[in-house]
């Protein structure tokens, strides 16, 4: 099912495929996509392409990647397999197979196996579904709701990584409700009292969630020297917003930084998580830039979430587990079933 959906891979600039919100031409990167090695290119015009990292000759990786050692992104005009030098264009077509000029080899039949790549919000997205709708349409209504946040141009100021012993859906579901915020996140609930009040009921996510008096952003103190993003409306300058961008991107939007969580399911009970704290480039370029005021709070809250998600995973695995009952303030978390079930049916 995940292979038929757009899934988020990470930041385009991390893969050298864009800089400052603009596509970088003639680049290639190798990414991990749902357990597969995938080559992503930006061609001479900056258009993105993606291919299985498997040579159509005898199956060598076109860009050899040893497990656990990522290939550095680099400039490229073509892709040459190291085994027998079959050479592919950045659009995946087989350009040249050495010593075959006198032989009847139809190169058009041996292009690299294609996936669908796209950019939105400064993130790289992939799907195996070549008929998938444009990513901006598939992610509706999120792009419209976060339009005043300059996601395209933000840069990673701090990266937190976690390996969590829980299914990715447990993590997504947890992100989608604040019934747990009072018991699990006492510090966060002091910063954002609405999260704890009434079991996190009636949170007006569309308008943003207010902080306690005197606080306006997600940092340990609730304030910071960094400036809010310039195009935010009045409420967004002092409130917090959050979006679960199905299936695997969680966006927490503060006035001056964004926490972007990419979930990578690696097993039924294991999810690798990258939490990038994204900042305006002019703020992160300042000599005094120090993202730890946000990073310390996020790391605390994240570890609280992952610990409880691992507890849920262990409990759900018990032979005594039965589905309970959704409280009214968990309505939003039930969404994951509304999202999942029609897709499971559609994709067989």
**Residue 305 binds what, of Fe ion, ligand FES, none (CB under 5 to 8 Å, by partner type)?**
Fe ion
Q: Give whichever of 60 and 153 is closer to ligand FES, judged by the CB atom.
A: 60
Nearest Cα neighbor of 158 from 267, 276, 59, 288 is: 276
Rounded to the nearest whole angstrom, what is the least distance from the CB of residue 85 to ligand FES in the complex? 6
Q: How far apart are CA 250 and CA 175, in angstroms?
A: 8
**Residue 86 binds what, of Fe ion, ligand FES, none (CB under 5 to 8 Å, by partner type)?**
ligand FES
Yes or no: say if 329 and 200 are a contact pair by the CB < 8 Å rule.
yes
Rounded to the nearest whole angstrom, what is the least distance from the CB of residue 62 to ligand FES in the complex? 7
Q: Does 83 bind ligand FES (CB under 6 A)?
A: yes
Rounded to the nearest whole angstrom, what is the least distance from the CB of residue 254 to Fe ion in the complex? 15
Q: Give whichever of 111 and 193 is closer to ligand FES, judged by the CB atom.
A: 111
Please identify which residue in 22, 84, 303, 314 interacts with ligand FES, judged by CB under 6 A.
Answer: 84
Instruction: Give every CB contact of residue 197 below 8 A, 6+ residues apart in sequence.
Output: none
**Residue 198 binds what, of ligand FES, Fe ion, none (CB under 5 to 8 Å, by partner type)?**
none
Residue pointed to by tokens 């892709």: 79
Query: Alpha helices of the chain — where are they, by DSSP H?
Result: 135-138, 142-145, 168-175, 181-184, 186-191, 193-196, 281-284, 292-316, 331-346
Rounded to the nearest whole angstrom, what is the least distance from the CB of residue 301 to Fe ion in the complex? 6
Interactions with ligand FES, residue window 49-68 (CB under 6 A): 55, 57-60
**Residue 156 binds what, of Fe ion, ligand FES, none (CB under 5 to 8 Å, by partner type)?**
none
Q: Does 43 bind Fe ion (CB under 5 A)?
A: no
Q: How far apart are CA 97 and CA 84, in angstroms?
A: 8
**Residue 55 binds what, of Fe ion, ligand FES, none (CB under 5 to 8 Å, by partner type)?**
ligand FES
- CA within 13 Å, CB half, 323: 4
Q: Does 113 bind ligand FES (CB under 6 A)?
A: no
Which residues partner with 41 through β-bridges?
28, 49
Q: Does 86 bind ligand FES (CB under 6 A)?
A: yes
Interactions with Fe ion, residue window 286-305 (CB under 5 A): 305
Yes or no: say if 90 and 45 are a contact pair by the CB < 8 Å rule.
no
**Residue 58 binds what, of Fe ion, ligand FES, none (CB under 5 to 8 Å, by partner type)?**
ligand FES
Q: How far apart are CA 295 and CA 268, in angstroms?
A: 29
Question: What tokens were used for 219?
Answer: 């940092």
Rounded to the nearest whole angstrom, what is the least distance from the CB of residue 179 to ligand FES in the complex? 53
Q: What are phi and psi of 232, to 5 degrees?
A: -65, 150
Q: Give whichever of 85 and 266 is closer to ligand FES, judged by the CB atom.
A: 85
Yes or no: say if 266 and 168 are a contact pair by the CB < 8 Å rule.
no
Q: Does 88 bind ligand FES (CB under 6 A)?
A: no
Question: What tokens were used for 319?
Answer: 């032979």
Which residues partner with 54 through β-bridges?
none
Q: Does 339 bind ligand FES (CB under 6 A)?
A: no
Contact positions toward Fe ion, by CB under 5 A? 305
Contact positions toward ligand FES, by CB under 6 A? 55, 57-60, 81, 83-84, 86
């Amino acid at each position: 099912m995940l292979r038929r959906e757009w899934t988020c891979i990470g930041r385009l600039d991390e893969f050298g495929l864009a800089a400052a919100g603009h596509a970088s031409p003639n680049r290639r990167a190798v990414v991990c996509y749902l357990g597969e090695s995938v080559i992503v290119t930006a061609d001479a015009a900056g258009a993105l392409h993606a291919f299985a990292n498997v040579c159509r000759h005898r199956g060598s990786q076109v860009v050899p990647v040893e497990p656990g050692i990522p290939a550095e992104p680099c400039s490229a005009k073509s892709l040459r397999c190291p085994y027998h030098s079959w050479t592919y264009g950045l659009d995946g077509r087989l350009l040249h197979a050495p010593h075959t000029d006198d032989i009847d080899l139809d190169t058009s039949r041996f292009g690299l196996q294609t996936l669908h790549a796209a950019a939105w919000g400064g993130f790289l997205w992939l799907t195996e579904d070549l008929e998938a709708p444009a990513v901006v349409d598939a992610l509706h209504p999120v792009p419209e709701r976060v339009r005043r946040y300059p996601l395209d141009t933000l840069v990673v100021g701090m990266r937190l990584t976690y390996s969590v012993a829980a299914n990715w859906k447990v993590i997504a579901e947890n992100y989608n409700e604040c019934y747990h915020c009072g018991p699990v996140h006492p510090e966060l609930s002091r910063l954002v009292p609405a999260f704890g009040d009434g079991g996190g009921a009636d949170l007006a996510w569309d308008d943003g969630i207010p902080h306690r008096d005197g606080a306006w952003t997600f940092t340990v103190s609730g304030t910071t020297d960094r400036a809010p993003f310039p195009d935010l409306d009045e409420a967004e300058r002092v409130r917090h917003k959050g979006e679960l961008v199905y299936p695997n991107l969680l966006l927490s939007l503060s006035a001056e930084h964004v926490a972007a969580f990419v979930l990578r399911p690696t097993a039924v009970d294991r999810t690798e998580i990258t939490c990038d704290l994204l900042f305006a480039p002019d703020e992160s370029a300042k000599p005094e830039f120090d993202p730890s005021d946000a990073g310390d709070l996020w790391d605390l809250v994240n570890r609280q979430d992952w610990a409880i998600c691992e507890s849920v995973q262990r409990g759900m695995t018990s032979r005594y587990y039965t589905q309970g009952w959704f409280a009214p303030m968990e309505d939003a978390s039930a969404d994951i079933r509304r999202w999942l079930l029609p897709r499971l049916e559609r994709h067989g």
